[in-house]
Amino acid sequence: QSVKSAHTPKMIRLKGNCHIIIAFLLGVFPYISSFIIKSTSTEILKCSRISIDVPQLWTRCCSRNNLRFVSRRPSFSLLATNDKGGASDEISYPIPICNDRRGALSQLVRAAAFVSCSETILERSDVALAAVGTLPEFADASGILQRLTVSVADESQQESMIKFLVDGLMFKILRQRTIGSVTDTWLGYGPEQCSIPSDFTIPMSYGLYGGHASIHLQYDSSALNPTYKSGDDTTKQSIAYLQVALPTYRISQMVKNNGNVLDAYGYVNVISPSGLPFRAIIGIRSDPIMFVAINCQDVQKSKAFYQKLGFLEQSYPYARPSNGKGQFEPPQEANSVYLSLSQNSMGVLLRQSKNKKAVQPNRSVRSLSIVFDPATYSVSDESVIGLESTAIIDPSGIPISFISVNSFEKEEKSMMA
C-alpha cells in the first residue's frame, strides 16, 4: 500500500489501483532488457539498462535493471549500449515528467506501457533490418500498400472533401502542391516516411511516428467530366468502404461538408463528397487507416490476383478489445478474405458481391499505390515489366500503381522542405 524512498522522509500512500500499477512497473522492467532500440543513426542498440528518474517519488533496485532515486530534473531515459564491435556508447531518450507526484506517476505509467508493449520502437533482437525503409514494422515486407488516390470534380468538391476529412474524420494535411492545372493534397494521420522521424521521442503519440498510409486527393481544373454526383450510393461499386479507427469523429462536420451518412449505429458508414465511402469506428490503431474493403465478383480470383503482388492472407484486424463482439465494431464479414503486404501496413478486405454480379468501378478512385523496395520486391506475373512505369487493374476495376521507396521518400522530402 505504500512505497518509501530512503531519500525522502515522507511516506507516499497510494490509493485505489496504484499498487497494481507499481507492481506492474516493477514486474515488467526486469524482463525488457532483451529488446533492442533502433536509433536515429540507424544502428541497432541492445537495451542494457533502463533508468527512471523521478525526484521524491520512489526507488527500487532490480536484478537486471536499475530503478533509482535521483535529485536531478525528472526524466525517463532508455540507456542503450551498442553491442556491435564491443562498443559501449550510451544513448539516452529523455522524456519530461511532471513535477507533482500524481502527474509524474501518470507519465511513468505511460512510459512503462510504451516500453513494455510497443512493437513500434522496441523489437526482439532477432529482427532483421527493414526492407522498405528503416522502420522495424516493415522488416517482414518488401512492399507496403501506402496510399489511395482519389479525384474530385471541381474546386468546391475539393474544398468539401478536405474539410470532410479534417473536421469530420480528424485527418491532417500532410503536404500539398500545384503543378499546372493539377493540385495534389496528401492527408493522413501522421508522417508517411518509411523511417523514424528525427523528432520522435518515447513515449509520444503514434501520430508522430513514421509509416502512415495516406489519401492522395487530386484535382485537375482542366478536367470536364465529373466523377461523382452528390447523393449517389457508391458502396456497391469497386470500393465498398475505407475503414478508419480513431478515438473520436464528428458526424455533424461530415454532414456539414456534404457527407452522405448512411447509418450511424455504433459506427458510421458515410459517403464522402468525392464519392469514396468510409466506415469510421471508435477505436485505437497505430495507424487509423486500417484497410480498403473491395467488392469482388469472385473473391478467390481477386485473392489470387493480390497474392501475385505479394499480398499474404492475414488475421483480420480489429480496433477494439471486443474483437467484433458488440455494436461498436462489426466482425469480419462472412466469406471475406483479408490480405496485406505487411501486418503493420494498410491491407485489403475482399468481400463477395451479392449474387456474384459484375462490379462497377468507382470513377473517383484513381489508384491504390504500393511502395516497394526494388532489391527485394517482385511480382509473379510475367506480363508486368518495369513496375514504376506500370499500372495494372485488379478484377474489380481498381488501378494498382507502384512507386519505389527511394522515389517515394524523395517526393515526400521535396515537398516537406
Quote the CA–CA distance of 48 and 77 in Å, as a whole number.
Answer: 12
- State the cell numbers at 337: 478474405
Task: State residue 173 phi and psi, 5-degree precision.
Answer: -75, 115
Instruction: Give the C-alpha separation, 398 to 83, whole Å.
Output: 47
Does the global pTM surpass 0.85?
no
pLDDT, position 256 = 96
β-bridge pairing 95-96 and 75-81: antiparallel
Between CA 98 and CA 76 the distance in angstroms is: 11
Whether pLDDT at 361 is above 80: yes
* Residues, the chain: 417
Amino acid of residue 60 = R
* Predicted local confidence at residue 224, as pLDDT: 74
The pLDDT, as a whole number, for residue 263 is 95
Q: Is the pLDDT of residue 51 over 60?
A: no
pLDDT tens string 251-263:
999 999 999 999 9
Rounded to whole angstroms, how far apart are CA atoms 303 and 417?
Answer: 40
pLDDT digits (tens, 9 = 90+) for 306-321: 999 999 999 999 999 9
Q: What is the mean pLDDT of residues 72-90?
A: 41
Element (H, E) at 157: helix 155-163
pLDDT score at 157: 92
* Per-residue confidence (pLDDT) for residue 200, from 0 to 100: 78
Half-sphere exposure at residue 144, Cβ-oriented, CA atoms within 13 angstroms: 28
Kindly give, in sequence order, each residue whose CB lies less than 8 Å from that of residue 339, ignoring residues fewer than 6 positions away: 303, 306, 307, 311, 312, 313, 314, 347, 348, 350
What is the residue type of 243? Answer: Q
Residue 69 pLDDT greater than 80, yes or no: no
Distance of alpha carbon 364 from alpha carbon 315, whole angstroms: 29
pLDDT tens digits for range 208-237: 888 999 999 999 998 877 677 777 889 999
Q: Which of 31-35, 71-75, 154-158, 228-232 has the highest mean pLDDT?
A: 154-158
